[in-house]
Amino acid sequence: MLEAMEQEYTDISFEGKDGVGRKTDVPWSRFYSKSRSKSATQGWYVVYLFPTHGNGIYVCLAHGSSRLENGSFVPRSNDELKQLTDWGSAVIASSIKSRPDIVKSINLESKLKLAQSYEKSVIAAKYYDLTNLPSLEELTQDACLFAGLLGQLYFGEDMGRAPDQEDIVVSDVKSASHGKGVGQGFKLTGPERKAIELRAMQVAQEHLITLGYEVEDVSNKESYDFKATKKGSSIPVEVKGTTSSIGTVVLTRNEVELHMQSYPNNMLIVVSDINLHRSTTTPIATGGNLRQYFPWKIDDSLLKVISYEYNLI
């Protein structure tokens, strides 16, 4: 299974950290896709975590649980981690339901907030007691099992949902404005919003092309951003960009109506964690992590009015 993952995700890599010199509280080693998880703070990966007591080791399927801010690692919020792990757990649920040896939570026995955030980012794990380690064959089989689960998450991200998973209801991404009236990114300047929008559109377009779509930018004339066509069928694609991670989507009335009518032949692409460089005369946006929702189902019970239009008499 690990071999199959390597064939599909050819940028698989390995790394680890034990805090050479002053040893870290919870040493770790992971394998991952370099394009999906550029650092241990981003994306999904398989990680071996060594609890503080040093008597065992967990092999875990986990998501990056922190961010690097001003030179320090800051844990993601509990709400953000819950949203991530709820999604991931739903994707792999059927694959581990008959595996009583696979647990959904771990205890690293650490008092450090960063280590505790590791625990909250795990959706599947298996524990090995160092006094009774399994055979190399079993360890290899488990590594292949977790590689397969990781591949399911990557597939789920590509498709916006996992195979046989119910439609995802989306209302959870803070985004920058498209310039279509009042939108996301209220504290950004016009040029900054434009830079984020252009970066999100670029990342989304490249992603759609890799999926085999012919892509037409219709953002200047329609209530959506791209017309994506494959095998003679076209779908509207909404694109949102943000410098942060998980929050809320701000939609115009026209966007809501269009995507409600278009479902299930519609798509939302969110490009989060975009890097905004303000040091230049013209703001520049780079990077970003893409997440695709296809089909995109809007639940009107989750819509919240944030502004009104009032006609003066």
* CA gap 221, 218 in Å, rounded: 6
* CA gap 62, 49 in Å, rounded: 10
243's torsion region: left (phi>0), alpha (psi -120 to 50) or beta?
alpha
The pLDDT value given to residue 115: 85
The pLDDT value given to residue 16: 87
The pLDDT value given to residue 277: 82
* CA gap 31, 33 in Å, rounded: 7
Find tokens 């819950």 and name the residue. Answer: 82
* CA gap 226, 237 in Å, rounded: 5
* CA gap 290, 284 in Å, rounded: 18
Which residues of the chain have a pLDDT value below 70? 1-10, 19-23, 70-71, 158-188, 246-249, 279-281, 305-310, 313
DSSP state of 13: E
pLDDT digits (tens, 9 = 90+) for 215-267: 999 988 898 999 999 988 899 999 988 887 755 667 788 888 899 899 888 99
Flag whether the pTM goes above 0.95: no
Residue 292 near residue 235, CB atoms below 8 Å: no
For 231, how many CA atoms within 13 A lie in the half-sphere containing its CB? 2
- C-alpha closest to that of 217 among 228, 232, 207: 228
Q: Which residues pair with 285 in a beta bridge?
A: 276
Coil, helix or strand at residue 94: helix
- C-alpha closest to that of 166 among 290, 238, 36, 264: 264
* CA gap 226, 239 in Å, rounded: 8
Max CA distance (Å), the chain: 81
**Chain-centre distance for alpha carbon 283:** 25
Q: Which residues pair with 33 in a beta bridge?
A: 12
- C-alpha closest to that of 290 among 184, 207, 195, 209: 207
- Our CA dihedral for 5, 144, 123, 14, rounded to 10 degrees, sits at -70
pLDDT digits (tens, 9 = 90+) for 169-204: 333 333 333 333 323 444 667 788 888 889 999 999
Residue 108 near residue 51, CB atoms below 8 Å: yes
